[in-house]
Structures are given as C-alpha cells and as structure tokens.
Amino acid sequence: MGRHSEVARASDQTVVRSFSDAAPKVKQKISAVSLPRPRLVMPTLFPSQRSVGLFSAAFMLTIGLLLVNVVDPYSGAVASPYYIPAISVVKDGQEVSIDGTYTTAAGRDGVSVTARSAAKASATAPAAGVPDPDTAQAMGLAAVKARGWGMEQYDCLVALWNRESHWNVYAHNTSSGAYGIPQSLPGEKMATVADDWQTNPATQIEWGLRYIEGRYGSPCGAWAHSEAVHWY
C-alpha cells in the first residue's frame, strides 16, 4: 500500500512536472513559429503563351485581309450578296456606203466608210499660182490640164506634194521606203510608166496622177484625205 501510494504520488508529480516543464517549451515553440508574410504579386511583364498566340493569329488575319484588298480591291464587293455587276454596252459600228468609182476602207471610233466619192471628199487648197517654166510644178500643171482639170485641182496637187516631198524628185523616206515627188511606196512601182522613174520628174508625176485618179478621183480628193489622216 505504501509503495503504491508513492508510485501514485510519484506519477502525480511526474505528470505535474511534465506539464510544468513542457509549458515553457510549448511557449517557446509557439513563439519560434513565424507567421506567413503577405506576398506582393508583381504584374508579369511578358504576356503568356496563350495571349501571344491569340495576338499572332489576329495579326496574321488582319494582314491577310489587307493583302486581299491590295491584290483585288473589289474582292469584298464582289463577294457580297448585294453585288451587281455593271452592264457593259457596246455600240455597234456604223457602215456607210457612198457611190464612187473605187473602194477604200477606214476604221475610226467604230465607224467604217466604204467607197469614198472624190466629189464629196474634195477640199480646197491655197492658190499655188503659175509655176516657173521647166520646173516639176510646171510639168504637173500641164498634166493636170491634159486630164481636163482646172486650176483648183492643180492647187490641191501642189499642196499635196509639197507636204509629201516638196516636189523633190530624189526625196526618199528612209523609214518607209517611199520615193520621189509622189512618194511612191515602194518607188519601183513607178517603173510601170518608165524605167527612168528614179530621176525623171515627168515619169513620177504621171505615175502619181494615175494613182490619185484611180484611188481618190482627183487631186482635191487626195488632198482632202491627206488633210483628214495626214497621208494619201
């Protein structure tokens, strides 16, 4: 009985001692534990990968739309359901037929002319006056009168060949090959009159008047054509 009581007392003391001894340690442990400090969250300077991906996709889509508009600025309008294509109206050309002794065709602004008449296509030219004897123009006046034409036809002839060659028997267009007073193209055509076509003004004048009469009817007809298009 006595031992048990001592043990009991001893155990009581031990318990008391253990609580009393442990108390400072618990306090020390509690004081030693530090409370968590609040963290300051700084904003991220660089965007996340997802943000970068979305931005890149939007940027590429914008660039693609801009390139489409640059290459085909009407692509958006054409793709619209309200787009209505413009109707192109092409006017038919006009064809005019005039009685005459020959046929020539010319196309300009959708109008074609067939069979020009020398009488209707004639035009007046400045008066040439009486030429000096033994000149090419004097030969031309004699050839005009031989065909029954008046001075007005001679005036047209002088104006026409002044424009073409200045009545120079040796006039040669190096770009086209035209030669002589009437600027025959090529010059060898005048050999149908005579073989001296390169040097004889009478041969060249005769060939030129034959050409004018057959194609334009008269020198004034040829002059009118030359006034309109600057060639005959």
Rounded-to-5 percentages of helix, strand, coil across the chain: 50, 5, 45
Residue 160 falls inside a structural domain: yes
Residue 174 falls inside a structural domain: yes
Residue 51 falls inside a structural domain: no
d(CA 15, CA 37): 38
Domain hosting 194: range is 136-229
Residue 215 falls inside a structural domain: yes
- pLDDT (tens place) for every residue of the chain, 232 residues total: 444 444 444 444 444 444 445 445 544 444 445 555 656 555 555 556 666 667 677 777 777 666 655 555 444 444 444 445 555 444 454 444 445 544 444 433 433 334 444 444 467 899 999 999 999 999 999 999 999 999 999 999 999 999 999 999 999 999 999 999 999 999 999 999 999 999 999 999 999 999 999 999 999 999 999 999 999 9
95 phi/psi in degrees, rounded to 5: -125, 125
Residue 115 falls inside a structural domain: no
Domains contained in the chain, number: 1
Neighbours of 183 (CB within 10 A): 22
- Claim: this prediction has a pTM higher than 0.95: no
Structure tokens at 207: 């060939």
d(CA 103, CA 217): 11
Residue 73 falls inside a structural domain: no
- Listed in sequence order, the DSSP H helices in the chain are 2-32, 49-71, 75-79, 136-146, 151-164, 201-215, 219-229
Residue 198 falls inside a structural domain: yes
Residue 204 falls inside a structural domain: yes
